[in-house]
Amino acid sequence: MIHRIHILLLVLTSQTCLLANGKSLINPNLRIVNGSNAGVGEFPFMCALYYKGFFTCGATILSEEWILTAAHCVYNRDESEFSVLTGTNDLMDPNGTETYVSQVIIHEQYQNTIDQVDDIALLKLTVALEFDSLTQPVTLSQPNGDPPANSAVVVMGWGVNQYKGHPMQYLQKATIDLYNNPSCEAIYEPYGINILGTNLCAGTPQGGIGQCTGDSGGPVVVEGSPTVQVGVVSFSAKPCGIQGFPGVNTRVSQFIHWIQNNTDL
């Protein structure tokens, strides 16, 4: 018997986290599903994406002027209303730096459908970031450089810690495992969802750990020296962390040339 699940985008459709006077009006006690607080400066490339002053998605720093996120986080929205918060794990930290976005570039073949094909976007900032120990660019996975299935990866974000919950205050992280694409395809295909070569799936067989609403656009990384981003959070089954359904991410290594062609990187 096929169990009923809901495949939804991991994006805050009801914007519940207001950035006002350097502070976010959120519930400070919630977190990524069964994650833990990230250390200060542990992921200096991580940033929070805001729309009209409300937290909406995660993102990563590519350079002083460029940010990487998911296309569905910015699709059909006014690009002048986006800003990013950098240099902090705490959405209520008055010392974090808010910078507005001047340009949004969505992948030309992005499809806002259940498959979320080519779910990737670039943001250009109005003012260049100043790098320090809390603000640094991420290293991206290169073509043919992705780790094998069953490798441990880390997903992070300020998303909710349960389905229909609220964004949390502190950046959360969780360690999960990569799935091979055929296994992931076998899980999602009965529900009419295609897993493509541009996707990267990650989760745990037992469930209960992983990405949830609001974590969209944030990174999936392999920790090391340097830590390498292999995925951009795209979508998953609901309720969050349901057993047997890994999260689906955009495979960064398949978009390196697209990123280079659209930036000065």
Annotated catalytic, 234?
A: no
The Cα 82–Cα 54 span in angstroms is: 9
Q: CB of 228 within 8 A of CB of 207?
A: no
What are the φ and ψ backbone dihedral angles of 113, each rounded to 5 degrees? -125, -175
Burial class (CB in 10 A: 0-12, 13-18, 19+), 57: buried
Q: Length of the chain in residues, anyone?
A: 265
Strands (E) across 34-96 are located at 36-37, 46-51, 54-61, 66-69, 82-86
Catalytic one of 216, 234, 236, 253: 216
Q: Encoding tokens for residue 168? A: 């949390």
Catalytic one of 24, 72, 107, 146: 72
Q: Encoding tokens for residue 26? A: 């959120």
Residue type, 203: G
The Cα 220–Cα 229 span in angstroms is: 6
Burial class (CB in 10 A: 0-12, 13-18, 19+), 79: middle
Annotated catalytic, 264?
A: no
Sole residue written with tokens 């976005």:
101
How many other CB atoms are found less than 10 A from the CB of residue 2?
A: 6
Annotated catalytic, 72?
A: yes
Catalytic one of 90, 119, 146, 215: 119
Q: Catalogue the active-site residues.
A: 72, 119, 216
